[in-house]
Amino acid sequence: MREHRLLPILTEERAATVPFFGLDTLWLQLAGTLCNIACRHCFITCGPKEDRVPMMTRARLEELLLEARELGVKEFYFTGGEPMLHPEFFAVVERTLKEGPTHVLTNGMLIDESAAQRLRDLFDGSRYSLDVRVSLDGMTAEENDPVRGRGTFAAITQGIRHLAAVGLSPVLTVVEHADALRLSEARSEFLRFARSLGLAQPRVKFLPLLRIGRETRRTHGYGTGDVVHEPLPPEVIRTLQCNSSRLATQAHVLVCPLLLDAPDAQLGRTLTESLRPISLRWSACHTCVEEGLSCRT
Ligand code: SF4
Ligand code: SF4
CA neighbor of 161 nearest in space, from 198, 131, 114, 191 = 198
What is the dihedral sign for C-alpha 260, 265, 269, 272? negative
245 lines ligand 1 (CB under 6 A): no
35 lines ligand 2 (CB under 6 A): no
Q: Of the given ranges (142-151, 152-161, 169-178, 288-297), which has the lowest mean pLDDT?
A: 288-297
Rounded to two decimals, the pTM is 0.95
**Among 256, 283, 286, 296, residue to substitute to test ligand 2 (most atoms within 8 Å of Cβ):** 256
Question: Angle at CA 166, nearest 5°, toward 115 and 164?
Answer: 100
- Nearest ligand, measured from the Cα of 108: 1
Separation of 288 CA from ligand 2 center, angstroms?
6
Could you tell me the residue ranges of all domains in the chain? 2-7+22-225+244-276
Computed over every residue of the chain, the mean pLDDT equals 93
pLDDT in tens, 194-253: 999 999 999 999 999 888 899 888 888 888 888 888 788 999 999 999 999 999 999 999
More confident residue, 153 or 2: 153
Q: Of the given ranges (13-22, 159-168, 215-224), which has the lowest mean pLDDT?
A: 215-224
pLDDT in tens, 107-155: 999 999 999 999 999 999 999 999 999 999 999 999 999 999 999 999 9
d(CA 120, CA 101): 15
- Specify the pLDDT at position 8: 74
CA neighbor of 254 nearest in space, from 16, 10, 27 = 27
The residue type of 271 is L
Q: How far is CA 54 from CA 15, 32, 46, 238, in A?
A: 31, 5, 11, 32
Separation of 216 CA from ligand 2 center, angstroms?
18
- Specify the pLDDT at position 93: 98
Give the CATH fold of the 2-7+22-225+244-276 domain: TIM Barrel (3.20.20)
**Among 79, 207, 241, residue to substitute to test ligand 2 (most atoms within 8 Å of Cβ):** 241
Q: Atom of ligand 2 at shortest distance to CA of 241?
A: 3
- Specify the pLDDT at position 1: 44
Helices first, then strands: H and E counts in the chain: 9, 11
Question: How confident is residue 9, by pLDDT bands cut at 50, 70 and 90?
Answer: confident
**Among 34, 39, 53, 134, residue to substitute to test ligand 1 (most atoms within 8 Å of Cβ):** 39
